[in-house]
Amino acid sequence: MDLVADMLAQGATAKEILDGYPTLTEETISLAPLHVACPRY
């Protein structure tokens, strides 16, 4: 999740991320920044 959130922060599009990581979904990608911002400890 951290990697996906970093990629989004650097300007990568969901399509670019999906091309490199086809097992992810658009929903997973859209939720990545929230996961990083609110980790569960």
C-alpha angle 1-39-3 in degrees, rounded to nearest 5: 20
Count each helix (H run) and each strand (E run) in the chain, helices first. Answer: 3, 0
Over the stretch 17-32, which tens digit does the pLDDT of each residue have? 999 999 999 999 999 9
**C-alpha dist (Å) from residue 5 to 13, 16, 31, 41:** 11, 13, 9, 19
| pTM as predicted | 0.81
Average per-residue pLDDT in the chain? 92
